Structures are given as structure tokens and as C-alpha cells.
Amino acid sequence: MVKSGLAQGKNKGHVVTVRAKESRPKHTKGNKGKRVSMCREIAREVAGLAPYERRILDMIKTGGAAADKRIYKFAKRRLGSHKRALAKREDIKSVNSAMRAKQAMS
């Protein structure tokens, strides 16, 4: 509701311009920026996978669909939460598919 600038009445209060909700920092929190994503991509290229990530990758290669639960349990133990474990499993699966695509091209 638009304020009238008067001290009394239904629309009482000081007249202010309302900012857009998207411009507030709390609405952009958690979104990954271009710079951060590029830096993480370069770090992954240079450093490669962590030892526990290599183990997950090995489980994906050998186990298949039945090993999904085992991979989840292993990742959860290492990472501490359900959400992180699921995200890591999907991340390593995408790494595996990227590696397969790269091998198929060469």
C-alpha cells in the first residue's frame, strides 16, 4: 500500500520508494557466480579428484544401479549430510559420463 505522508489515516506514514525484492542480498545468497564456478572448474582440472571421490568413481564403474545405496552411504559418512551425499553422487556421476564422452571422442 502506498503511504500518504500524513500521520493519521489508513495509509499513514512517511512516503518511501520501495526497492525491488530481487536486489536485496538475501535473495541472491547461495547462487554461484561466474568467477567462482570458473575457479572451481580450474581447480578440479588441475588437482583432480580427492581420494574418497576416486573411490566413489570406482564404485560407479563397477557397481552400477545396485551400488547407488552403497555410494550414498559412503558419501554420507564422509560429507556428513543427506543432501551433500546426494549432490556428490550426482557430481561424480557427471564426471564419469564426461570422462566416457572424452574417451569416445578420441
In a domain, 16, yes or no: no
Q: What is the pLDDT of residue 60?
A: 92
In a domain, 82, yes or no: yes
Own/partner contacts of 50-53, CB < 8 Å, gap of 24 or more, are: 52/78, 53/88, 53/92
Give the total number of structural domains in the chain: 1
In a domain, 40, yes or no: yes
Write the single-letter amino acid at 102: K
User: Rounded distance, CA 65 to CA 68, Å?
Assistant: 6
pLDDT in tens, 2-52: 888 899 999 999 998 887 777 778 888 888 999 999 999 999 999 999 999
User: Rounded distance, CA 43 to CA 46, Å?
Assistant: 5
Spacing of C-alpha 74 from chain mean position: 20
In a domain, 11, yes or no: no
What CATH number should be reported for the domain holding residue 36?
Answer: 1.10.10.1760
Q: Which of 34-38, 51-55, 95-99 has the lowest mean pLDDT?
A: 95-99
